[in-house]
Structure 1
Amino acid sequence: MTERRIDKVRLGTEGPEVGVQGLGCMGMSEFYGDTDEAAARDTLEAALEAGVTLLDTADMYGNGANEEFLRPFLAAHRDEITLATKFSVVRDAADASFRGISNDPAYIRGAVDASLRRLGVDVIDLYYMHRRDPAVPLAESVGAMAELVRAGKVRHLGLSEVTGAELREAHAVHPIAALQSEWSLFSRSVERSAVGAAAGLGVALVPYSPLGRGFLTGAFADAAELPENDFRRHQVRFTGDAAAANAALLEPVRKIAAAHGATLAQIALAWVQQRAEVHGLPVVPIPGTRSRGRLEENVAATRITLTQDELALLEPIAGQVVGDRYPDMSSTSDSRE
């Protein structure tokens, strides 16, 4: 049982109030090896007990299975949960490796209805564009998302993996409550332009993979150790010579963790949480887990404050990381900076 409920913060100037740490639900359905539904459901209960109220999913996680998995929990706790889901990554049921991107307005209108059905809800609290398709004018896509707000199907809008310029363009069409992008001790490209733009516009940052897909926890030193059905086996950062080089970067994290009597994960999360103070904007990381114990460990990180000397020790890490965030970076904001 967690000691107490975490503090709250508002997403955007008019967005929902949520716990300062959220929960990424992707791994409860696929990508990180075999799943345990009973343990995952217990983790959802633990999250609510701790004040973790922002649940993050997407229609592409398990090809809709993750949204369906959340349905009974949402039915029991709808008024206590801020529900976020995402559209635009298109998968082929016959080819698990296929990934397409659609920002077409007609696609968006169909996607939101499908998500509402799977989730069993009347309205989605925060609806994200998961990935940007530069072939579709951003004003058209965000305009279609704004129509969903007016129709009462969506309460607030979010974007994922966009540049600062794209965030400003979208915000001019309709207020954006949150920007979701990868942000961790290993991945700081979001700071190039998006963080400054978000701070200026009053948009919250929702960092995904704040634990570097688990590598920052020290739980594994090479993805070859992981099960065959774990997607991290295909991430260049976590294999071979790159993995060895990146594992060595964890030494200052270990030193600081020892000083605090904390885990590596807690120090990595505390660093992300303190980005709010550093950059002057709301920051709500969404570490994913399927374990009650890990959830409680993650939440405890919100009570750790790193000193300026400790922050300085961690500062160089991202610039020394070997390998890109994804094998194919074409759909990330990095490719459009």
Structure 2
Amino acid sequence: MENSDYRQNITVQYCFPDVNSSCIKEIQTGPAYIFLFIVLSCISVCTVVLNLLVIISISHFKQLHTPTNLLILSLAVADLLVGLIVMPGNIMQLIDSCWYLGKLACTFFLLITFVSTTGSLSSLTLIAVDRYIAVSDPLLYSVRVTVCKTLLCIILSWSFCVFYISNFMYFNDHLLSSSISTRCYGECVLFVKYSWVFVDVVVNFLTPTSIIIVLYSIIFKVARHQAKSIRAMKNGASQKHGANIPSASETKAAKTLGIIIFAYLACWIPYFLNSLSDKSFTSSSMVWTIFSWLIYINSSVNPLMYAIFNPWFRATSRYILTCRICVIYESSSSRFHLLPEHF
């Protein structure tokens, strides 16, 4: 009797009390959720700050206007959207299950979510292709890879992402389509069909993953061969055992490429493996939430790998954080010579 009386005294809260079809509000206020809110908020802020530093650096300093850095800029823009829009939206839905901005904003939010993550993935693939060309054919790299060609590839890449995701979300009568749930007012949930998941795994995971792994494997082999050749020239042909000792550049290349590939696979594999294991699932499920956040966190890791490891990022960050690029007498800061050596 006491339990039944207790249930009757509980007041059910709705997202929109004045709307008959309103969803039931579920607010998570426990210590664990508060801690989770703080941690995820810090990740979101760090993602925004790091990617903003990359974007401002490459956009402002003319010395950084190179094909490779334009690809890093494209990656930073995609990751900035994740940190600025996708992460905060998902954080609020973790704490409060209601969506207060309407169906149009929900559609836009889901569109930004998938376009930004897909754009990030395509940028990672283009960076791998760019590095492969630079290592395999360094003498003709400046001819084969130009700023104009790189900009064209970036535009085509983002256009494909928008077209691909638009087909995914809007063509609701199609076999491969998915749909936004409208079971009640105040819900922003995407129902994903298994037929689309299978196509998405092939197009959005297996293909770019294969390209990235293969190209970075070739890059590492070429870098290792070059390091051995340089070491042999320094040590002399008479030092037979020296060729088996890893050089500093070889070790650095191995660590960098290893970190890049490991971080990429660790963030993306769990999501797609889980996608294939379920015949159908929604974006509100806890498993979807956990594995989606792994992908979002990859947007925090990307600037660490592709920018902070570059010497120019440390130099430009000092200029930006100390506001030296805003000082009147340094109005020509965009032409600063950041590093004495070419990079």
Give the TM-score range, shorter chain. under 0.3
**TM-score of the two chains, using structure 1 as the length reference:** 0.24
Structure with more of its chain in helix, by fraction? 2
Structure with more of its chain in strand, by fraction? 1
